[in-house]
Structure 1
Amino acid sequence: MSARTTHLVVGESVVDVIERPDGSVERHPGGSPANVALGLGRLGADVTLRTQLGRDHDGDLLRRHLASAGVRLEVTDGPTSTARAALDEHGAAEYELDVAWALDRVGASPWRPTHVHTGSLATVVQPGAEAVHALVASLRGGSTVSYDPNVRPGLMGPREVAVPAVERLVALSDVVKASEDDVAWLYPDRDPVDVAYRWLTVGPALVVVTLGARGAVAVTPHGVVESPPHPVDVADTVGAGDSFMAALLARLGTGGLLGASGRRSLRVAPPARLAPVLSWAARAAAVTVSRRGADLPDTAALTGATA
């Protein structure tokens, strides 16, 4: 039996302030990396989140939320970030972000995870972004790496600066997941699958593009994997991409496709081996959009969705 996969997630934790069309306001713990860590924990993975949290009400809310899924924390003190999400009548979100990210004490990890995941604001907001890149680079030799750019145009800076920063992390990664909206902002007028193929040439073994209600598509060195959508009544889209990422990583980990020992297996995996992994991830995203807020499913919920 292979050793248990250990995941280190590095990135921001954010409290989402949800404004609904009827004028009601709700506060939910969130932040893309924190959501991925939560999702991994709910799916039974061994996961640690390295993040920044304040000693305040929002910080305490996030600590309790993550602890409820068994997520261990390595915390740098600092202001707790917030994101105000205004939802339209279809449940789609537009964000206004107040993010502080100065993870300046991130250095060499005191332990060696099987896999490290990062992305979103943590990889573009300075000064923390450079520390994150240094940490990922230091772990790359013995750990597989996943990355989700999770583009937020208001904080990405000029496109000509953002694209090289994204591509630098793509080149360090074994698994990359991006939405078609991410790709459209980074590369206007480029086909998302063409971009995925180009990213594949610089390092990753698996590049996934999520297509919203149209499912997802992945490119690998051995072919394309398409995952059809899972029909669902949408409550809102908050956390859908993070749920997809968490479920994807959980399945890759239990399938022996992560870590230094799994890197080659991932690179040579045929599409038929990866298809059920993508389907599982798409199912997780479907369950999440059927719920309000970034309420990621556990294994029992996904098993029920399968039935």
Structure 2
Amino acid sequence: MARNKRPIQKICCIGEVMIEIVSDDGVNAKLGVAGDTFNTAVYLSRILADTDVSVAYCTALGSDLYSQIIMKSISAHGIGTSSIEIRDDKNPGLYAIDTDENGERSFTYWRSDSAARTLFQAPCSVPLEELTGYDLLYLSGISLAILTPEVRRNLLHFVSGFCKGGGTVAFDSNYRPRLWESTKAARELNREMWRLTDIALPSLDDEIELFGDRNETDVLRRLGSLGVEFGALKRGALGPINLTTCQKAQGLPTVAEVVDSTAAGDSFNAGFLAAHVKSKDVRECLKAGHNLAAEVIKWNGAITPIQCI
């Protein structure tokens, strides 16, 4: 992990937040608001509510009814909205979740022309420089995939300077093949992000799918060669691997109940990051991430009722 980092008082999560449709019984459905980095922002905001650390979200929305619903939801979760771009001619993305009897989910998306895809495109009222005022930036492979190639390059250039200036960057590759124009582009961008990342939060399955690694040993070796030395390799019910020691985290409870695994990785990331912000050691960070994810997957949808977390 890079040294000479300033204290973390202001966090910004970057990406796309969408309207979520969750099937209740195969006939009815519930409407919600979710998205990978947004889910993490929600759980960060809940966990850090009793601290002086603030959590904000950076995305682009429209001015339509559903964008307004999303904006109200963001605010209701105690998440800052000052870094949200408004595009009057765009709408938010939408996705539906169907869950099988084992808690595994499948997704259907409608997001190809969403407002979030225009984030940081000129002209804009929220340029990349807006992010300079934060201490921790959290983003994912989805955050990168939805952007144009030019904006991706600009974002990586900004992130490099942000890191050198004492900011902390956390990243989860969260690979979704359909969002990328090619596997080659996804590999190149993710390699560069791993080189810049202070807190790495990859999932084993994503890394194997994207890079063709044979097993977790290959994944750990490749990440290490890119300079990754702090964070967690998520492995679902098997428990995370400490990226500093490359050893499995010990003493974690068994995940006994899975209702919906939608936000398992997102909530793990929130638990890990919140513990890190509170100056916990990496073992406590791993435990916090695992325990939060184990609770979240007991509930349907990405965001649990607030009394649960």
Q: TM-score w.r.t. structure 1 length?
A: 0.83
**Shift in alpha-carbon separation, 1:138–1:3, aligned structure 2, 3 A:** closer
Q: Are positions 1:153 and 2:174 aligned together?
A: no
Deviates most, 192-201 or 43-52: 192-201
SS at 2:106 equivalent: strand
Q: Which residue of 1 is the match for residue 194 of structure 2?
A: 170
Report if the CA contact (8 A) 1:214-1:229 is conserved: no
SS at 1:140 equivalent: helix
Q: Are positions 1:18 and 2:22 aligned together?
A: yes
Q: Are positions 1:83 and 2:68 aligned together?
A: no
SS at 2:133 equivalent: coil
**Shift in alpha-carbon separation, 1:92–1:132, aligned structure 2, 3 A:** farther
SS at 2:257 equivalent: coil
Deviations 1:220-264 (A, max 9, x none): 1x45242545423222011111111111111101107xxxxxxxx
Paired residues, number: 283
Q: Which residue of 1 is the match for residue 106 of structure 2?
A: 94
Report if the CA contact (8 A) 1:43-1:297 is conserved: no
Measure, in 2, the Cα distance between the counterparts of 1:102 and 1:246: 26
Q: Which residue of 2 is the match for residue 144 of structure 1?
A: 168
Q: Which residue of 2 is the match for residue 259 of structure 1?
A: none
Measure, in 1, the Cα distance between the counterparts of 2:269 and 2:305: 12
Q: TM-score w.r.t. structure 2 length?
A: 0.83
The AA in structure 1 aligned to 2:193 is L
Deviation at 1:112, TM superposition (A): 2.5
Report if the CA contact (8 A) 1:12-1:52 is conserved: yes
Measure, in 2, the Cα distance between the counterparts of 1:64 and 1:287: 25
**Shift in alpha-carbon separation, 1:118–1:111, aligned structure 2, 3 A:** same
Q: Which residue of 1 is the match for residue 3 of structure 2?
A: none
Structure (1/2) with the larger strand percentage: 1
Q: Are positions 1:116 and 2:137 aligned together?
A: yes
Measure, in 1, the Cα distance between the counterparts of 2:217 and 2:231: 9
Deviations 1:59-113 (A, max 9, x none): 2222222212211011112321112222222221122222231111332126432
Alignment of 1:189-268 (within 5 A): 189-220=213-244, 222-227=245-250, 228-255=252-279
Q: Which residue of 2 is the match for residue 261 of structure 1?
A: none
Report if the CA contact (8 A) 2:220-2:246 is conserved: no
Report if the CA contact (8 A) 1:215-1:229 is conserved: no
Measure, in 1, the Cα distance between the counterparts of 2:152 and 2:98: 27
SS at 1:281 equivalent: helix
Measure, in 1, the Cα distance between the counterparts of 2:228 and 2:169: 9
Report if the CA contact (8 A) 1:237-1:289 is conserved: yes
Deviation at 1:297, TM superposition (A): 7.6
Q: Are positions 1:55 and 2:66 aligned together?
A: no
Measure, in 2, the Cα distance between the counterparts of 1:110 and 1:117: 11
Measure, in 2, the Cα distance between the counterparts of 1:3 and 1:207: 18
Report if the CA contact (8 A) 2:141-2:190 is conserved: no
Q: Which residue of 2 is the match for residue 286 of structure 1?
A: 294
